[in-house]
Structure 1
């Protein structure tokens, strides 16, 4: 979608979902309008000098959707599809996502309208640092104000450039590392952030298929074992979603990428396919399975669970009628349009909404931000203490019983929690609790849509924040 073709608006789609949820609530119309509106929109142009001495003028955005809680939180996207409506929609989704999973951030999003594959590392660094300096000038970044993160087209490398630029401008800010999350470990990132979104997708789908009543309604058994899964997108989120689902017993039979897909009813060797993709920049000529040149057609292949983990607006009114999956797990932001959702509801397809399912990234980003503010790694203070305590406990049990624990048993019980152990535990707790709260709301309100239930929960929590601030009665 380009700026010249804005017939589809992600922001309007999100607002429509909010209105659908509000219809099931008693909420002040003025308060609803405030919640839906973007609090601050910053769009700007800035130049970049190319290696050959020529210049380009690039367009950047940072949109803060909601200030009901600060700081606001949301990724930075480098993509030729970046435009104001997309960024507004993504920022709004961040607001409702954080509220749904009880993460104390407002929502935001940012981006630069470029195709990052057409720029070298030196150019990307100049673009990132200049973008950051523009945010600093307008006070649109800071550990207490606005905390960006990676998104489509950016990663840990770009986040390290951002934090370095922010620290250069703010040498006296002791918590400067907390101005951005998704940083490399060497720059005070957190262990587990890379796989966080995909792991959250796994936890969310696992919880959904654990509810017997819901699976009976879909004609499925409970549990992941044996479930046939198709993944759209084999980047960071798609790969880790597939990895953890596969390890839990699901069978990954299809993977779609922008330049082709692979289909194999016997199951795909994820590590072998990933290695091939990295080496060959695609799946063509992969030795096993069927190569699908029109990769998006895989969305309509028979499967139990379909996981769109690429871009928004992938399942629309045009192809929704052909979807054969029983469950769609929205790992990407906004992959199913409102029109498509109505069609899928008539087909009794369960949609696990993006605002919940891909919240693993912001959840672990929250843990990273807390780590940066406390300036100490999780587990560092208590790990050895716990190990010695449990070791003494086992020794007491052995002395009292005369039995001896095996080395494997000792290692499992005595082991103190590492930073990654605590991050995974916190992520699992967040995803498990949020799913069952959302599903409970769906049943209490007697509605079919998990998305609507999620928005109801989010709206209730945001409304309470505004009322506690005394802005609305």
Structure 2
């Protein structure tokens, strides 16, 4: 994943708290509920030893932050990245609370990760790291308590190891009832058809619906993508199928451009063959990475890490629409510049919520002992995400406000209603 040269590193927690406080002020949020939502319920830090292939023992640091569960079990991804720390994990957990609420799911929000670069380890070492971390988490996760999913640098194999480890700690009579402790598993191990594409599909769908509301199609629209992992690839795949043209891609190793269009599948095949990078792709030329956001285009999809667009580079953005494939890719100062320049931002808690919606259906499938086809799954995700989109759009038009403010108002209001109905124990 990419970080932008020269971009100021601002705390993602600062961003999410500014967004939350702005919304709380605008809706006169109950002060007691405001106190509850401004902090996390649980913050778990685990240092755990793992034996490496050469016999050396290394100690790793893992985190699981559970922000709020007023609407249901904690839900959120697990990432493997050197930048993983307690503060960013808290921010990501809070964003998950808003995301699941906005989508109308019976979940709260959580996030976790291990502070490693997975490229430095063998597949056998990654398996041992994952299993040891899962074992160390113990009862802090569970199918009705906290349900991890894939995130940055984790995938269906990671989830299969987690599920197997967790299930192995249970009596044999209970193991099958714990299969949905994680989502994003391989289809052959209880996973959901289409889960791997659900986040990217959601990015595509929200873009499509936005242009549809303007009376426009995606045909001929030019888009650029930062990050060409699972989310960036699938969003690009669906956009190109609908007639949009990918003209530039940026990852941690290179930024490439072809103003006549980059073949999405060919680039994906190339990146798989060269350890996940777009560098060296023959169908495009390399360009200065610092100029990526300044490229003239219709759609910009930041699908890498947080805080990529800041007050230092937001002024250069030429896109008409920004679709947040990543969590928190724009800081609050950068966003104000973009909004003043008339750029529409589809916020992360709406734009990339296809992933957690897909996770919800996998969880239901496991829980109820059902099996759905790919077509059925995509129809379910489409319906659920479209409903959320149109609710936010209605608030945008009614209140003449930006999309993030509208999404936050809807998400936090739903949680406030739950607390008002239930009260605060004791």
Q: Deviation digits for residues 405-447 of structure 1, max 9, x if unmatched? A: xxxxxxxxxxxxxx21111111111121111111111222232
Name 1:264's counterpart in structure 2: 258
1:223 and 2:217 correspond: yes
Contact 1:283 1:291 in 2 (8 A): no
What is the TM-score when the length of structure 1 is the normalising length? 0.86
Higher RCO (CA < 8 A, seq sep 6+): 2
| Counterpart pick for 2:324 among 310, 330, 353 | 330
Name 1:233's counterpart in structure 2: 227
Name 1:175's counterpart in structure 2: 177
Name 1:165's counterpart in structure 2: 165
Shift in Å, 1:28: 1.0
Contact 1:31 1:463 in 2 (8 A): yes
Shift in Å, 1:297: 2.5
1:316 and 2:310 correspond: yes
Shift in Å, 1:280: 2.8
Alignment partner of 1:182: what SS?
coil
Name 1:396's counterpart in structure 2: none
Contact 2:219 2:243 in 1 (8 A): yes
Name 1:275's counterpart in structure 2: 269
Q: Deviation digits for residues 43-67 of structure 1, max 9, x if unmatched? A: 1211112222222111110000002
Alignment partner of 1:204: what SS?
helix
Name 1:384's counterpart in structure 2: none
Q: What CA distance in whole angstroms lies between the structure 1 residues aligned with 2:290 and 2:387?
A: 33
Q: What CA distance in whole angstroms lies between the structure 1 residues aligned with 2:17 and 2:398?
A: 23
Q: Deviation digits for residues 217-261 of structure 1, max 9, x if unmatched? A: xxxx62211111001111111000001011111111111111112
| Structure 2 gap ranges (5+) | none
Q: Deviation digits for residues 350-403 of structure 1, max 9, x if unmatched? A: 00000110000000100000011011213xxxxxxxxxxxxxxxxxxxxxxxxx
Contact 2:103 2:353 in 1 (8 A): yes
Contact 2:9 2:307 in 1 (8 A): no
Name 2:30's counterpart in structure 1: 28
Alignment partner of 1:367: what SS?
helix
Name 2:339's counterpart in structure 1: 345
Q: What CA distance in whole angstroms lies between the structure 2 residues aligned with 1:95 and 1:296?
A: 33
Q: What CA distance in whole angstroms lies between the structure 2 residues aligned with 1:367 and 1:74?
A: 14
| Structure 1 gap ranges (5+) | 213-220, 379-418
- Displaced runs of 4+ in structure 1, greater than 4 A? none
Residues 358 and 287 of structure 1, relative CA distance in 2, 3 Å threshold: same
Shift in Å, 1:291: 1.5
Contact 1:258 1:295 in 2 (8 A): no
Q: What CA distance in whole angstroms lies between the structure 1 residues aligned with 2:283 and 2:45?
A: 47
Q: What CA distance in whole angstroms lies between the structure 2 residues aligned with 1:149 and 1:317?
A: 32
What is the TM-score when the length of structure 2 is the normalising length? 0.95
Q: What CA distance in whole angstroms lies between the structure 2 residues aligned with 1:472 and 1:189?
A: 37
Q: Count how many residue pairs are aligned between Structure 1 and Structure 2.
A: 417
Q: What CA distance in whole angstroms lies between the structure 2 residues aligned with 1:472 and 1:29?
A: 16
1:16 and 2:10 correspond: no
Name 1:153's counterpart in structure 2: 153
Q: What CA distance in whole angstroms lies between the structure 1 residues aligned with 2:161 and 2:305?
A: 25
Q: What CA distance in whole angstroms lies between the structure 2 residues aligned with 1:296 and 1:38?
A: 36
Name 1:141's counterpart in structure 2: 141
Alignment partner of 1:201: what SS?
helix
Shift in Å, 1:290: 2.0
Q: What CA distance in whole angstroms lies between the structure 2 residues aligned with 1:274 and 1:176?
A: 35
Q: What CA distance in whole angstroms lies between the structure 1 residues aligned with 2:308 and 2:351?
A: 16
| Counterpart pick for 1:247 among 228, 241, 246 | 241
Contact 1:466 1:472 in 2 (8 A): no
Name 2:284's counterpart in structure 1: 289
| Counterpart pick for 2:293 among 289, 299, 303 | 299
Shift in Å, 1:296: 4.8
Name 2:187's counterpart in structure 1: 185
Q: What CA distance in whole angstroms lies between the structure 1 residues aligned with 2:342 and 2:144?
A: 44
| Counterpart pick for 1:370 among 364, 378, 390 | 364
Alignment partner of 2:159: what SS?
helix
Contact 1:35 1:462 in 2 (8 A): no
Contact 1:330 1:353 in 2 (8 A): yes
Name 1:452's counterpart in structure 2: 405
